[in-house]
Structure 1
């Protein structure tokens, strides 16, 4: 999935654009991963829809940033990307941190969001137990680097124990640097937007992996209860934290039906 580059709000952002005149769908990946987690959706749905998959700062092809940032800043960057691409509106979504950004974009500019696709994500701030765990993991990776003692549990948490986990462990070993700079504060210090979810009235597809140990199901159920346009949480059997990549045979039909209903995707 080759990338293009745009400078928005003073920062370089790299993204993949499948092109075409189908309904646009803007997707963001989870932490430690990149745009390629959506390769199965590109293969299944392009060119009937225009899939735009972006790399977060310090992930994939997008450079890191020296200054502190928030997911609100990244949501504003995505509005800039939409402006650059000439998109008045799009279906917007993501996995984990990609969902954090999508929710904030919908709060900042609801007229730009036709519908939301939210997978294994949440609206609340990081709780104390999770913060302690993540801070310990980041510190260990800074000290030891991408060693298997750390990469094996990380890959299992994000991707399960199959071929995708093994491939990503190798990618992390090969990378010049892991996203351990200012992006970690963005994750650890995110704010709670759960009390504003009623403001987001567009349709929302909610997806959760049944084996996701990063994000308990009740955090997805909170989205289902408070987002007026959300349906029931769709559980992906056997999936960990990144079902779009590891279980596309379950995810793609859900996404296709949702896009047919809410974006005009051709059957």
Structure 2
């Protein structure tokens, strides 16, 4: 099981290897590298790399507070560890937060950016209140049914996958959610810096996603100077790579082929 010592963390990752363009997939909050299990199909043409962010999966973090800038440096540190000079980044939800920051930190190394269900502007006051209460209770009471079923329905919304991820959440130390939750709730509005990103980009959203819809996707696309457009994933939830992998994989292949 591969690990890399990066920025004081013992980061778990999976690497398909190969000579193709490296694609680094970054997951959302409460998920891990298994969110992108179906994207391994792309390894026939690309070098597919997935990893567990701080506070998630098998990565052993120092449990200190961090920001999405720290996660971005973790992405770049993973590229250094694997001796990869250039890569394309695919970020889902909060994984997109790290991906855009990595593109700003190392513009010569990031050749393409695919953002899936990633809100880079401010959360609404209602969303801030919801997440604050949910993660506060998660820390105090653990991943109880009342919390996990609601979160799974909002983000995954597939009975089989809901059950699988709820089982994973129940097995984890409740305190591991503290730093990722603080990172999410205290993140800055990043929308004004999007024009600085120099690489080609594409935006995807699930048409059944209650958290990130067509309007948010269009606004994000317009803010990215070199965005090639918006791809709606029909019937997709917030976690479209997990629930609608064929559509996501096809869109990624087309985007990467075009650029």
Q: Quick one: distance in 1 between partners of 2:95 and 2:77?
A: 16
Distance across 1 between alignment mates of 2:230 and 2:21: 24
Is the Cα contact below 8 Å between 2:9 and 2:59 reproduced in 1? no
Residue equivalent to 2:23: 25
| Aligned equivalent of 2:122 | 125
Structure 1 stretch displaced more, 235-244 or 7-16: 7-16
Partner residue in 1 for 2:253: 256
Determine whether 1:239 maps to 2:239: no
Q: Is the 8 A contact 2:158 2:243 kept in 1?
A: no
Which residue, out of 26, 29, 38, partners 1:40?
38
Unaligned runs of 5+ in 1: 263-267
Matches within 5 A, 1:198-209: 198-209=195-206
1:126–1:190 contact (8 Å) kept in structure 2: no
Partner of 2:74: 77
Whole-angstrom distance in 2 between the partners of 1:192 and 1:176: 30
Unaligned residue ranges in structure 2 (runs of 5+): none
- Contact preservation (8 Å) 1:18, 1:47: no
CA contact (8 A) 1:65 1:182 kept: no
- Counterpart for residue 265 of structure 1: none
The list of structure 1 runs, each at least 4 consecutive aligned residues, that deviate by more than 3 angstroms after superposition, is: 176-179
* In 1, Cα distance between equivalents of 2:171 and 2:110: 36
Kept in 1, the 8 Å contact 2:195–2:224? The answer is yes
Q: Aligned ranges for residues 1-267 of structure 1 at < 5 Å?
A: 3-42=1-40, 44-177=41-174, 179-262=176-259
The size of the alignment, in residue pairs, is 259
Residues in 1 aligned to 2:176 and 2:210: alpha-carbon distance in whole angstroms:
21
Q: CA deviation at 1:190?
A: 0.8
Q: Residues 3 and 11 of structure 2 are in contact (CA less than 8 Å); yes or no, is this contact kept in structure 1?
A: yes
How far, CA to CA, are the matches of 2:131 and 2:252 in structure 1? Answer: 30
What TM-score do the two structures reach when normalised by structure 1?
0.92
- 1:233 is paired with a residue of what secondary structure? strand
Secondary structure at the residue paired with 1:56? coil
Bigger Cα displacement from structure 2, 134-143 vs 170-179? 170-179
- Alpha-carbon offset, residue 213 of structure 1: 1.5
CA 1:240–1:210 in 2, change beyond 3 Å: closer, same or farther?
A: same
Per-residue Cα deviation, 1:21-43 (whole angstroms, up to 9, x for no partner): 1110011001001011111110x
User: Contact between 1:200 and 1:227, CA under 8 Å: does it hold in 2?
Assistant: yes
Q: Secondary structure at the residue paired with 1:101?
A: helix
Cα deviation code 1:179-224 (max 9, x no counterpart): 3222211111111221111111211121101121222432222221
8 A Cα contact 1:119 1:206, kept in partner: yes
Contact 1:123 1:193 in 2 (8 A): yes
CA distance in 2, matches of 1:65, 1:241: 29
